Amino acid sequence: MSATFPQPPGTVATFAQLLSSTRRGARLARLLATTQLCAWSLSPDVTERAEQIVAELAVNAALHGRVQGRDFRLALTFDTTTGVLRIAVTDAKGGQLPVVPADSTTDGEASRGLLMVGALADR
């Protein structure tokens, strides 16, 4: 005899969107992320930090990871059980994750955005 057990409701909310690899696409990514996070009723502090992270990663994807005719991808995942929000921005080039040079400082132009993302994100 086989029994069917009730399944708990889904506890992971997701959002994903392809956006043009332009400054306009980067701005739209920030606006869409903010709208989605508000719809998920996240705290204003989390929403503000996430908005800044999305803005920086989207600008990097649009400016430094641009490939003519290809879009970048914004993905948000929110686990309602653990309260963990995951932000993923994939540029049109794909490839490896960016690495912050060990000798970079906040005074230099290079890697400043990634240092900011690291400071705002929990991990």
pLDDT at 85: 93
pLDDT in single tens digits along all 123 residues of the chain: 455 555 556 589 999 999 998 999 999 999 999 999 999 999 999 999 999 999 998 988 888 766 677 888 999 999 988 889 999 998 877 665 555 555 555 455 556 666 776 667 776
Domain 12-120 has CATH 3.40.1000.10: no
Name, in order, each residue with C-beta under 8 angstroms of 48's C-beta and a sequence gap of 6 or more.
none
CA angle, residues 123, 41, 46, in degrees to nearest 5 = 30
β-pairing, 84-90 vs 12-20, is unpaired
Residue 67's region, left for phi above 0, alpha for psi from -120 to 50, else beta, is beta
pLDDT at 9: 62
pLDDT at 55: 92
Domains in the chain: boundaries: 12-120
| DSSP-H helix ranges across the chain | 23-39, 44-64, 112-120
